[in-house]
Amino acid sequence: MGNYPFKLDMQVALAKPIPRKRMQLWRGDFCPLPSENQWIYTRRIALALVLTVFFAIQTKAQTQPEEEVKPVPLLTGSGGFITTFDGGDPHLGPIVTPLLLVPIGRRWVFESRATFESDMVQVPGQSGFHGTVEKEVEYAQLDFIANPYMTVTVGRFLTPFGIYNERLYPIWIRNLASDPLILPIGLGPSNASTGAMVRGGFKANPKFNINYTAYFSALSTVSHLDSDRFAGGRLGIFVPAARLEIGGSFQHGLQNERSNAFGFHAIWQPPALPLDLRTEYARSISGSGYWAEAAYRLSQVPYLQNEFRRTQIVARMQQYFVGANTSDALPSVNTKLFEVGLNYYFMDGLKASSNYGREFSTEGNKNIWTLSLTYRFVVPLGHSGSE
């Protein structure tokens, strides 16, 4: 056992966290008791959410049955192995992210996702790679589909700030293996909130849809389930004909410095090209920055179509500026990072990725190489309805 190369040594601290680790500290290190004004503010938000739920339930009778097929509980998720050379230091990152999805009746869904991951590094004087397995419940939420326009969520949920955390974070969805530098802005500890949320999407006009989210998160210091006290929302406008979505996020902290955070996002898929363009900007008291990403599928190459249609090239540029307050989750100095990548989709759910990044900062420039293999699995926990 002593010579086993992947032994898990709980005593060994990580040499340096790799960029995509989501276990991180935020501004919850000092949490004074809330003042009376804060309680009043909190009660108002709670009252607003309760009234929203009440009126949502009142409109329940007006809605139509939503699905013709009875859904089955699912165990899905992804697994992967990510190898990173960060400034020449190798990191091995196995990760498993199971997601349990339990539809209840016609309007309820319980969903929970956990992450088991490690960042194994070489320790001077010891052989092999060492690291700890970090466990986290990313979210465990109960959703009530109140009507076609609104869903009410309670429990622990991914903080809906920007687009990356909620939509693009899973390793089998993202185009590049590393997180954007600004990802921790506006998300709270562990990128999750504990509280209640209302959200939905509807056709506002024949030409565009609107999607919205409003949420309140309470302070939690429970290990692996920590969150900050804040309230916020996100609003997006989606134009289906142009395949364009633009939106913005806002968050108001209800503890410590009671600061605000805001951001903007845009996604565009030109209808005539297999091209994805995504960008995001975020600003808080801890810092600000942006990222812009383009991913092009080589399906228009006229030869070797079976191979090229499975191949995607990606480029991302991002920049981060340090703010007034520092955060352990964010870079400590102004940073620029350019990345290019190549993805190959063997089949649905199985993807190999490689990317190269060059980071520029006052702490020194460095190269970051990443290789990864990711797989998405779906296991129905019951009869799936196939013939």
Partner 1 sequence: MRRNYILFCLLGVAAGLTFSAIAQERPNSTGAQSAAVPAAQGNATSQPATHTVAPAKTTLQTAEERAQRLEGEKRFRTNCGRCHQAPHKFPPRVMAAAIRHMRVRAMITDEDMRLILRYMTQ
Quick one: which of 34, 73, 98, 323 contacts partner 1 (CB under 8 A)?
Answer: 73
Longest dimension (CA), the chain: 69
Secondary structure of residue 201 in the 3-state scheme: strand
Task: Determine, following the binding rule CB under 8 A, whether residue 258 of this chain makes contact with partner 1.
Answer: no
- Among residue numbers 206 through 235, which ones bind partner 1 (CB under 8 A)? 209, 211-213
What is d(CA 188, CA 186) in angstroms, rounded to the nearest whole number?
A: 6
- Among residue numbers 126 through 145, which ones bind partner 1 (CB under 8 A)? 127-128, 143, 145
What is d(CA 207, CA 254) in angstroms, rounded to the nearest whole number?
A: 37
Task: Determine, following the binding rule CB under 8 A, whether residue 196 of this chain makes contact with partner 1.
Answer: no
Of the CA atoms within 13 Å of residue 109, those in its CB half-sphere come to 16
What is d(CA 60, CA 54) in angstroms, rounded to the nearest whole number?
A: 10
Task: Determine, following the binding rule CB under 8 A, whether residue 117 of this chain makes contact with partner 1.
Answer: no
Task: Determine, following the binding rule CB under 8 A, whether residue 199 of this chain makes contact with partner 1.
Answer: yes
Quick one: which of 200, 260, 356, 360 contacts partner 1 (CB under 8 A)?
Answer: 200
What is d(CA 154, CA 336) in angstroms, rounded to the nearest whole number?
A: 38
What is d(CA 40, CA 34) in angstroms, rounded to the nearest whole number?
A: 10
Quick one: which of 345, 356, 360, 369 contacts partner 1 (CB under 8 A)?
Answer: 345
Quick one: which of 166, 179, 228, 293 contacts partner 1 (CB under 8 A)?
Answer: 166
CB of 69 to partner 1, least distance (A): 4
Return the number of the residue (174 or 229) whose C-beta is nearest partner 1.
Answer: 174
What is d(CA 380, CA 180) in angstroms, rounded to the nearest whole number?
A: 33
Quick one: which of 32, 61, 67, 88 contacts partner 1 (CB under 8 A)?
Answer: 67
- Among residue numbers 259 through 288, which ones bind partner 1 (CB under 8 A)? 267, 269-276
Task: Determine, following the binding rule CB under 8 A, whether residue 90 of this chain makes contact with partner 1.
Answer: no
Taking alpha carbons only, the member of 336, 331, 334 closest to residue 319 is: 336
- Among residue numbers 93 through 112, which ones bind partner 1 (CB under 8 A)? 101, 103, 109, 111
Cross-strand pairs, 264: 248, 281
